[in-house]
Amino acid sequence: MTALWTSDEIAAAVGGEAHGAFSADGVAFDSREVGPGDLFVALRGEATDGHKFVDSAFGNGAAGAIVSEECGHPHIRVPDTVAALDALGIASRARTEAKIIGVTGSVGKTSAKEALFAALDRSAEGRTHRSVKSYNNHTGVPLSLARMPAGSRYGVFEMGMNHAGELSALTRLVRPHVAMVTAIAPAHIEFFDSIEAIADAKGEIFEGLEPDGTALIPYDSPHRDRLIAAATPYAARIRTFGLGEGADIRAVEISREITGTIVSAVLPEGELTFTIGLPGEHWVSNALAVIGAVEAVRGDLAVAGLALAEMAGLPGRGARSAIPLEDGEALLIDESYNANPVSMAAALDTLGDEPAERRIAVLGAMGELGEDAETYHAQLAGPIAGAGVDMAVLVGAPMKVLADALGNTIDLVHVPDAAAALASLEGEIRAGDAVLVKGSNYIGLARLVEALASGKTTCSI
């Protein structure tokens, strides 16, 4: 098996000096994630210095390291390890002939990235690469690039931002053949003057498009024209996806069945009928974007449709499991990874479609919403009512305005944290209920999800 990197290749890529010959099969900058044969990049950041963990990385089986200090193990010495990681990512991108897809958006980018990976890997098994977890920032993106095998056929990279200019830098590293924006929402609006400014920042993804590249834009977004204007100077083709009459990739018929959502779509070069295994109208939009990207890189559309039918929710992003009870079980919908007003409404809409005895919503506060945070929280009363929620557990101080807005309209509990939320649910969940758990990551509802799924009555903070 060909090594991902040799020490000579790394030294040439980063302009460093090799000390000891080695080959690496993986790359990591967290010593806890290092496995046998990996390259460890000792990053020096604000919170900690990776050089303190070099010995630990080699104890975990590292084959070599990139460092800027003296090192008693095989290594590449550079002046700046952060710059070296960028350089390694750039070299990885330069050496591959893979078709590259870049994904961003205020909501849905990780799910769309995973769906794209499944759709492409189905026809190019073992030769499709994607960024793992949510490695989508200034260190995660070059790390994901550096991990891409040279012989990959496809690469799918998630890119995120919470300030203007960040995507501009990331997309120039990725140099995508296809650049996709899933949706625009007031996520991270604390750092922007307006939601239009968020759309402009997301539109930076088009700046890195390769010649003859394709931009994929949500047709039904109120910011569609703004995104089209951002893409026009850089994209050879602009394709829109959505439900509206003028979309280039458009769902003309949607049928919700027990097995999933059946979608008949019109594409620029034909028609396709496929099933989406995950529920929710937002997944129709995600799936259309995925199909548009697969078509743009000349992938196998029929096989992509099969992959969408088999998609399951990701932990924290729609994963479904059972809550064990003495007299049966309840459905647990795990949306605990993150939240903003748009994704909250979408998750509640999905809960409303569940044929459950009762619908319970455990909703954590939403972060980084700026001066309009109270308004955004209070406005969730509408989606809660529309979903037919029977009981709501609201978690975190910012949720007080929502509790006030709901008043006595439903069974309601407002608690300070995840532990108190779990305590409030003890004895309340019945067999046949559907329980949605969603909130910003800082609220820590993932621990509540873990406790519910395992039948525990307490969770640590």
CATH assignment of the domain containing 20:
3.40.1390.10
| Within a domain: 36 | yes
Provide the angle, in degrees to the nearest 10, between the axes of the packed helices 166-174 and 195-202: 20
The answer to whether 264 and 308 have CB atoms below 8 angstroms apart is: no
Domain closes at, from 271, 291, 309: 309
**Any idea what the CATH number is for the domain that residue 172 is in?**
3.40.1190.10
Q: How far, CA to CA in Å, does 153 sit from each of 22, 97, 121, 277, 297?
A: 26, 7, 9, 26, 10
The one-letter amino acid at 443: I
Helical H segments across 297-415, by residue range: 301-309, 341-352, 373-378, 381-386, 400-406
| Structural domain containing residue 362 | 319-454
pLDDT grade for 87, boundaries at 50, 70 and 90: very high
Domain-embedded: residue 89: no
* Predicted pLDDT of residue 285: 93
Are 151 and 275 contained in the same domain?
yes
Final residue of a structural domain among 80, 105, 120: 80
Q: Are 106 and 226 contained in the same domain?
A: yes
- Condensed to tens digits (0 to 9), the pLDDT of residues 348-378 reads 999 999 989 999 999 999 998 988 999 999 9
Distance CA 347, CA 436 (A): 8
Q: Which pLDDT score is estimated for 460?
A: 57
* pTM, 2 dp: 0.87
| 107 annotated as ligand-binding | yes
Residues 126 and 214 in one domain: yes
Q: What percent of the chain has pLDDT over 90?
A: 84
List the CATH number of the domain containing 410. Answer: 3.90.190.20
Is 87 contained in some domain? no
In the structure, what pLDDT confidence band is assigned to residue 320 with cuts at 50, 70 and 90? very high
Q: Are 277 and 214 in a shared domain?
A: yes
Q: Does residue 34 form part of some domain?
A: yes
For residues 145 and 161, give the distance between their C-alpha atoms in angstroms, rounded to a whole number: 17
302 with 388, same domain: the answer is: no
299 and 193 within one domain: yes
| Within-domain flag for 224 | yes
Local confidence band at 133 (pLDDT 50, 70, 90 cut-offs): confident
Q: Please tell me the chain's helix, strand, coil percentages from 3-state DSSP, rounded to the nearest 5.
A: 40, 25, 40
**106 marked as binding residue:** yes
Does 175 reside within a domain? yes
Residue 187 has pLDDT above 90, yes or no: no
110 annotated binding-site participant: yes
Instruction: Report CA 194 to chain centroid distance, whole Å.
Output: 23
More confident residue, 162 or 339: 339
3-state secondary structure 112-129: HHHHHHHHHHCCCCCCEE
Find the mean pLDDT for residues 443-458: 87
Tokens of 338: 């993150």
The answer on whether 105 is annotated among ligand-binding residues is yes
- What mean pLDDT is reported for the chain? 94
Residue 407 pLDDT: 93
Residues 175, 116 share a domain: yes
Residue 274: phi, psi to the nearest 5? -150, 165
**Residues in CB range of 269: below 8 A, 6 or more apart:** 295
Residue 335 lies in a domain: yes
If pLDDT is split at 50, 70 and 90, which confidence band does 311 have? confident
In a domain, residue 352? The reply is yes
CA angle 385, 390, 394 (to 5 degrees): 80
To the question of whether residue 64 is assigned a binding role by annotation, the answer is: no
Residues 24 and 75 in one domain: yes
Burial state string for 174-193 with b = 16 or more CB within 10 A and e = fewer than 16: bbbbbbbbbbbbbbbbeebe
β-strand partners of 156: 101, 130
Specify burial of residue 70 (Cβ count, 10 A radius: 0-12, 13-18, 19+): exposed
Residues 391 and 243 in one domain: no
Tell whether 292 is in a known binding site. Answer: no
Judgement on whether residues 184 and 64 belong to the same structural domain of the protein: no
Residues 343, 276, single domain; the answer is no
pLDDT digits (tens, 9 = 90+) for 386-432: 999 999 999 999 999 999 999 999 999 999 999 999 999 999 999 99
Per-residue pLDDT tens digits for 143-180? 999 999 999 999 999 999 988 999 999 999 999 999 99
Question: Looking at residue 459, what is its pLDDT?
Answer: 57
Q: Are residues 293 and 391 in the same domain?
A: no
Contact 390, 425 (CB under 8 A): no
Distance CA 119, CA 297 (A): 12
Domain count, the chain: 3
